[in-house]
């Protein structure tokens, strides 16, 4: 019995020794400092104040219409059709227009006959007046009749020419090379003079259209250089602001801005999505840093950021926010070269040791 108790005591002692050894190993393992994502701040004067989505448009977009009304007999183009100057895009029924032209010709013949009669009467009464057979008042009357007949003849000629021109207006002709971006009329439809039937976009000069909010209108100045990138093409090219709308859109309260592309990239087409980067103007950009919105740590009245110090510990730095959008924030109060934590800021504490991506 004593031997059994002694053996049990030895076994328990061995288990305690093994457990103590395991605990010592766990205590010996030290936790690594937290790994943080950082971004270096700097004196970023002229930092991009905003990136605006835009669409490739033609500088000249023409809403085309017939100069005379009638029923459309033929539509020779579709949306996306490329046309050359002089191509016939649509044709309307010319029967009524031809009848009006014929009516003008008949009016010319009638006016010519009246003019010839007035001319003969004037010649006859001029001879009678020279023979002192009629008074000057009678001669003046026939002179007036001749002048009126001549004016009527000139008016008839003008109306006949207008009727002949109208016959040519029954064909809708492209005035320049371009592409059809919209069609608003179909065959068989009766349209009136001046009613838009299609839109022609000239493709010889393409540009990008963006919408700038009221608060950033000062950044959009005519002649200012910008950077334009295209989602479908990759890379970016130089652009210049060509036009800024004088009034804001009544619904969106944004200003339409047109950006010309002096050297468009290969493959740039109408309707493509583009991004335009505008740089901030004025002294507010001096000493500013653009950080991700996730870098801001704010528990009180003032926004702050975590800065990694030389001893690899973090400290809070108070900053002032100049402007922000959905992803970035423009701040002041950082020194060039400050290493700012940009992710997981709410998990840090003052003086905590961290690791950066450069340490890895």
Q: What is the pLDDT of residues 122-163, one digit of tens each?
A: 999 999 989 888 899 999 999 999 999 999 999 999 999 988
pLDDT of residue 97: 86
Two structure tokens written together for 347: 């998990």
CB 334, CB 319: distance < 8 Å = yes
Mean pLDDT of 344-356: 87
Residue 43 clears pLDDT 60, i.e. is over it: no
Percent of residues, the chain, with pLDDT higher than 90: 37
Shortest CA distance to 220 belongs to which of 41, 52, 1, 92?
A: 52
Return d(Cα 315, Cα 134) in angstroms, integer: 119
Return d(Cα 41, Cα 296) in angstroms, integer: 13
Residue 102 clears pLDDT 80, i.e. is over it: yes
pLDDT confidence band for 360 (50 / 70 / 90): low
pLDDT of residue 31: 72
**Is residue 257 classed as helix, strand or coil in its secondary structure?**
strand
Using one digit for the tens of pLDDT, what is the confidence trace for 197-237? Answer: 999 998 888 899 999 888 888 888 899 999 898 888 877 88
pLDDT of residue 326: 59
Percent of residues, the chain, with pLDDT higher than 70: 85
Better-predicted residue by pLDDT, 72 or 287: 72
Neighbours of 26 (CB within 10 A): 7
Average pLDDT, the chain: 83
Mean pLDDT of 231-245: 87
Mean pLDDT of 260-265: 89
Return d(Cα 241, Cα 208) in angstroms, integer: 9
Return d(Cα 38, Cα 40) in angstroms, integer: 7
pLDDT of residue 143: 93
Using one digit for the tens of pLDDT, what is the confidence trace for 9-30? Answer: 555 555 455 454 454 444 445 6
Mean pLDDT of 348-357: 86
pLDDT confidence band for 78 (50 / 70 / 90): very high
Q: Which residues pair with 127 in a beta bridge?
A: none
pLDDT of residue 150: 95
């Amino acid at each position: 019995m004593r031997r059994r108790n002694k053996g049990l005591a030895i076994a328990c002692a061995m288990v305690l020794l093994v457990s103590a050894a395991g605990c010592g190993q766990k205590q010996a393992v030290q936790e690594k400092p937290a790994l943080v994502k950082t971004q270096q701040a700097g004196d970023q004067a002229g930092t991009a104040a905003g990136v605006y989505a835009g669409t490739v448009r033609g500088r000249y977009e023409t809403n085309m219409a017939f100069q005379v009304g009638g029923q459309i007999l033929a539509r020779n183009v579709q949306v996306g059709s490329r046309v050359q100057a002089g191509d016939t895009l649509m044709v309307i029924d010319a029967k009524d227009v031809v009848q009006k032209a014929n009516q003008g010709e008949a009016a010319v013949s009638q006016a010519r006959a009246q003019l010839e009669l007035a001319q003969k009467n004037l010649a006859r009464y001029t001879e009678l007046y020279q023979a002192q057979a009629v008074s000057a008042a009678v001669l003046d009357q026939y002179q007036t009749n001749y002048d009126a007949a001549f004016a009527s003849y000139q008016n008839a000629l003008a109306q006949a020419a207008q009727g002949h021109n109208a016959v040519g207006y029954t064909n809708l002709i492209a005035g320049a090379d371009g592409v059809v971006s919209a069609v608003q009329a179909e065959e068989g439809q009766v349209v009136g003079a001046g009613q838009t039937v299609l839109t022609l976009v000239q493709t010889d000069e393409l540009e990008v259209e963006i919408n700038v909010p009221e608060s950033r209108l000062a950044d959009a100045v005519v002649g200012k250089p910008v950077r334009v990138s295209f989602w479908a093409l990759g890379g970016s090219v130089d652009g210049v602001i060509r036009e800024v709308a004088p009034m804001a859109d009544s619904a969106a309260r944004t200003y339409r801005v047109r950006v010309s592309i002096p050297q468009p990239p290969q493959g740039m087409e109408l309707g493509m999505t583009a991004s335009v980067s505008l740089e901030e103007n004025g002294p507010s950009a001096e000493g500013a840093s653009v950080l991700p919105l996730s870098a801001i740590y704010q528990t009180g009245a003032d926004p702050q950021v975590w800065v990694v110090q030389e001893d690899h510990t973090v400290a809070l730095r108070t900053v002032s926010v100049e402007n922000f959008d959905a992803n970035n924030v423009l701040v002041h109060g950082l020194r060039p070269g400050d290493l700012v934590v940009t992710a997981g800021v709410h998990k840090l504490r003052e003086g905590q040791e961290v690791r950066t991506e450069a340490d890895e």
